[in-house]
Amino acid sequence: FNHQPSSIAANAKDVLLFSAFCRQHHIRTIRGKTLLRFMTWLHDKRNNCSGTINRKRSSLCMYFRHLRLMQIPGAKELPVESLPRARDAYRGPVKVLEPDEVSNLLGSIDGASVIARRDFALFTLQYSLGLRLGEVLAVDIEDINFRENLITIHGKGRRERTLPLVKHIVSLLQEWLIFRKALLGSDESEALFLSKKGNRLSLRAAEENFQKFVTPIEALKDRHIVPHTLRHSFASHALENGDDMNKLVVLKAILGHARMKSTEIYLHPSITLQRKAINDHLSSDILAELREKRTGIFRIQSTRASAKAG
């Protein structure tokens, strides 16, 4: 039902893990409390975050619905719909890079070699459009429409979105396509970003390359900076340039979020933006007027007090 092969494989792996859990704990009959016990085990013993636990929960829900359709005895009575979702404690604002830090990071990528030019184009494209790393690596040459300056992004759940390309990104991609010809397998592969061996660049290789650029930068030392940080930074910087709801709606479309709730995690403005909002707020004008009036009254009272004293 419109599920990617990778998703189906992940679902099957989750069900097998649950099966192994039941065997390990000598569970012969599956009840509602069995599922709760499994989720607790994932958190306590495997240190899974809420997102991972909820994915496994979803896999089990789909599996038991399948068992219902197959009319397996007992499947109908299992309360999978009422199984609660795992939740993390509030972690605070999303960690992002400041604009000058993004500039320094991307600027540190030496453009002398073809591989360096590839990485510069890759991570610049990711930041400029707020893409997930997997989405950048999935781009094919045919996904780029240079005539209309558009690019098709293949997002989660086979959701596609078309985004506009600004002039400097168009120029960057056109330049990269020229250097790309020097890589092995460039004529056979449609992938925009290739490895040295001529295959589509893998997620792991891209992540490792990214860390090579982050590590030497002293200002980023002891900070957890990963490629996804560029996506977070794009979102945060986009919101700092606007203050209306329409900005959030547009950002949701750009990032490819299925729910507004996913976009709302970026509603944590910086101190600079908070200061500007407070300074520009009507309350500042009201306070300034009140202070002026009170200062005037204080001056009159001070003058009268001085005259009486004299």
CB of 200 within 8 A of CB of 137? yes
Catalytic residue among 56, 117, 118, 231: 231
Active-site residue flag, 43: no
Catalytic residue among 228, 247, 268, 276: 228
Catalytic residue among 132, 232, 237, 252: 132
Amino acid residing at 8: I
Active-site residue flag, 147: no
Catalytic residue among 117, 180, 232, 266: 266
Catalytic residue among 156, 196, 212, 304: 156
Among 134, 137, 97, smallest CA distance to 234 is for 97
Active-site residue flag, 168: no
Structure tokens at 284: 């500042």
Structure tokens at 303: 């003058």
Active-site residue flag, 63: no
Angle (CA) 50-51-52 rounded to 5° is 90
285: left (phi over 0), alpha (psi -120 to 50) or beta: alpha
Active-site residue flag, 56: no
Active site members: 132, 156, 228, 231, 257, 266
